[in-house]
């Protein structure tokens, strides 16, 4: 018997392409049902309305197919613009904003206020439900002052660098986030920590995302950045990166600059039991879905050996 096929109606050729995409995605949807994904959202994607809309749709879709997404967001450029508007001077030391008491108040206002609520609103606009939180809520992120040292080039003596109210997580209270597992709500978290005597600490969003992913035992940690992923010496993106190779590439100078702390965050998260950590380009529309629901992926997956 000769098998015949019905032609696609004229003008609807994209139907077949969409069907192929859904067929490819289905096994991944089944695999990740009930899984927790921690997503750090920041960089240029936050400043583009179209990409922000796509991101909101993506996390809502994850929720609808049974994944538990947890969003942690940054906001460095927005903080900088607000400080400029208020005519408050700030400086960076080794990539970290020195944060005095006046600046930390602005940081909290921007992160926990305008940015956090804009992401929550975007999720609502595309049919999802979200709750905005900061690390202070429910004692979610306990923190301490971040200590950094710098070697004086003249004396060769290491000196402590005072970054003010810049912190690092000491403990994550997963019970706060667990409340939303199985619910319709997506938690959206500002990277603000609470110190032992009630101080407010500004914490790097990548660091917070890694700590939360580890505390939750997440299946995946995603760091949305402004680069396609980790590159080799030839400039090609490395799609698969075991821990041992990641450490070797940092040691031999292949991984340099701002990529080092991102890779270190991913390595630490995997060491804490996270199933895998992915660095991918948030400027690519639907990069999150491409990484999760396709065979090829879209970034660099760091995982145990």
Average pLDDT over residues 89-100: 82
- pLDDT digit string, tens, across residues 138-185: 999 999 999 877 666 666 666 777 888 999 999 999 999 998 888 899
Confidence label for 44 from pLDDT (cuts 50, 70 and 90): confident
- pLDDT digit string, tens, across residues 105-149: 999 999 999 899 999 999 999 999 999 999 999 999 999 999 877
- Phi, psi for residue 201 in degrees, rounded to 5: -120, 135
Which pLDDT score, from 0 to 100, does residue 151 have? 64
Confidence label for 21 from pLDDT (cuts 50, 70 and 90): low
Q: What angle do CA 9, 22, 228 make, to 5 degrees?
A: 115
Specify if 18 maps to a domain. no
Residue 305 has pLDDT above 50, yes or no: yes
Specify if 17 maps to a domain. no
Specify if 9 maps to a domain. no
Average pLDDT over residues 75-85: 89
Residue 59 has pLDDT above 50, yes or no: yes
Specify if 263 maps to a domain. yes
Contact 149, 158 (CB under 8 A): yes
Specify if 239 maps to a domain. no
Contact 297, 239 (CB under 8 A): yes
* Rounded Cα distance, 299 and 221, in Å: 12
- pLDDT digit string, tens, across residues 230-281: 998 888 889 899 999 999 999 988 988 888 889 999 999 999 999 999 999 8
The count of domains in the chain is 1
The residues pairing with 224 across neighbouring beta strands, listed in sequence order, are: 280
* Per-residue burial over 239-255, b = 16 or more CB atoms within 10 Å of its CB, e = otherwise: eebebeebeebbeeebb
Specify if 4 maps to a domain. no
- From residue 127, alpha-carbon distances to 34, 41, 211, 261 in Å are 20, 19, 29, 35
CATH number, domain with residue 101 = 3.40.1160.10
Specify if 182 maps to a domain. yes
Specify if 3 maps to a domain. no
* Rounded Cα distance, 26 and 225, in Å: 27
Q: Sign (positive/negative) of CA torsion 88, 91, 92, 97? A: negative
Which pLDDT score, from 0 to 100, does residue 282 have? 87
89: CB partners within 8 A, 6+ apart:
83
Which pLDDT score, from 0 to 100, does residue 1 have? 44
- pLDDT digit string, tens, across residues 208-219: 999 999 999 999
Confidence label for 32 from pLDDT (cuts 50, 70 and 90): confident
Residue-range definition of the domain harbouring residue 265: 32-228+246-303
């Amino acid at each position: 018997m000769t098998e015949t096929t019905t032609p696609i109606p004229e003008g609807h050729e994209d139907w077949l392409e969409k069907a192929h995409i859904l067929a490819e995605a289905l096994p991944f949807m089944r695999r990740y049902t009930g899984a927790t994904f921690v997503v750090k959202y920041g960089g240029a994607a936050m400043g583009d309305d179209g990409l922000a809309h796509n991101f909101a749709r993506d996390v809502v879709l994850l929720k609808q197919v049974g994944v538990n997404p947890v969003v942690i967001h940054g906001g460095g450029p927005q903080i900088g613009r607000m400080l400029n508007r208020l005519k408050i001077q700030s400086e960076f030391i080794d990539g970290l904003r020195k944060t005095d008491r006046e600046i930390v108040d602005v940081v909290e206002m921007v992160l926990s206020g305008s940015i956090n609520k804009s992401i929550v609103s975007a999720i609502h606009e595309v049919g999802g439900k979200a709750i905005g939180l900061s690390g202070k809520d429910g004692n979610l992120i306990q923190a301490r002052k971040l200590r950094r040292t710098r070697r004086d080039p003249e004396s060769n003596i290491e000196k402590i660098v005072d970054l003010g109210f810049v912190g690092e997580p000491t403990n994550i209270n997963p019970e706060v986030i667990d409340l939303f597992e199985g619910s319709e709500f997506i938690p959206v978290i500002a990277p603000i920590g609470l110190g032992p005597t009630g101080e407010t600490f500004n914490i790097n969003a990548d660091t917070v995302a890694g700590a939360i992913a580890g505390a939750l035992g997440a299946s995946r940690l995603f760091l949305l950045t402004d680069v396609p992923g980790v590159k080799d010496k030839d400039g090609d993106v490395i799609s698969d990166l075991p821990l041992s190779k990641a450490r070797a590439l940092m040691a031999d100078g292949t991984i340099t600059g701002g990529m080092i702390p991102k890779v270190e965050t991913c390595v630490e998260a995997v060491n804490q039991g996270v199933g895998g950590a992915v660095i991918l380009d948030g400027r690519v529309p639907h990069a999150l879905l491409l990484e999760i629901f396709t065979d090829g992926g879209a970034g660099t997956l760091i995982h145990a050996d």
